[in-house]
Amino acid sequence: MEKLPKFSEMNAPEGYFETLPDQILQKVHPQNDWGWVKWAAVFLLFLTVGIYTFYPANETSEWIALEDEVNLYIDANYWSAEDVLSMSDQPDLVLDEIIEEEIPFLEEIFTDEYLTPTEQ
């Protein structure tokens, strides 16, 4: 220690220690104005909720998927036609659709030309 040079008395500049904490905080936490980002996030949140709430959902795709699932149950002999009719609110409409799909030539049989009396 004896070999180290001796320093004269050191004095800090006036007001150095009063402004030092503010200077350190500015370097550590720079002051950026990010208030608009918060408002943009709130706006996007409300926009997303509004679109999800008020935009009509595509219900036809749900019905098509449901119809395909019912057809799979019927094709796998897990459900019979009677089971499907018993689960329906309007079994007559379902039965008409089944008959129309299974026997398309019935429409040709019951046309006006077959039902009109023949003239002789």
pLDDT in tens, 51-78: 888 876 665 566 667 778 877 887 888 8
Residues 72 and 104 in one domain: no
Query: 74 lies in a domain?
Result: yes
Residue 114 lies in a domain: yes
pLDDT for position 30: 62
Tell me how far apart the alpha carbons of residues 32 and 38 are, in angstroms, rounded to a whole number. 13
Average pLDDT in the 90-97 region? Answer: 80
Q: Which residues of 32-51 are buried (b: 16+ CB within 10 A; e: fewer)?
A: eeeeeeeeeeeeeeeeeeee
Question: Is 50 within the bounds of a domain?
Answer: yes
- Among 31, 10, 9, 27, smallest CA distance to 19 is for 27
Rounded mean pLDDT of 16-25? 86
CA distance 9 to 11: 7
* Whole-structure pTM value: 0.28
Range of the domain at 56: 43-78
Contact predicate 88/94, CB 8 Å: yes
pLDDT confidence of residue 93: 83
Q: Which residues contact 107 (CB under 8 A, 6 or more apart)?
A: 100
- Looking at the fold, whether 74 and 92 belong to one and the same domain comes out as no
Q: pLDDT at residue 98 above 80?
A: no
Higher pLDDT, 45 or 114: 45
Q: Which two tokens stand for residue 31?
A: 């002051």
Residue 89: strand, helix, or coil: coil
Number of domains in the chain: 2
pLDDT at 18 over 80: yes
Mean pLDDT of the chain: 76
The pLDDT score that the predictor gives to residue 45 is 94
Query: How far is residue 107's CA from residue 120's CA, in Å, rounded to a whole number?
Result: 26
* Separation between Cα atoms, residue 86 and residue 46, nearest integer Å: 44
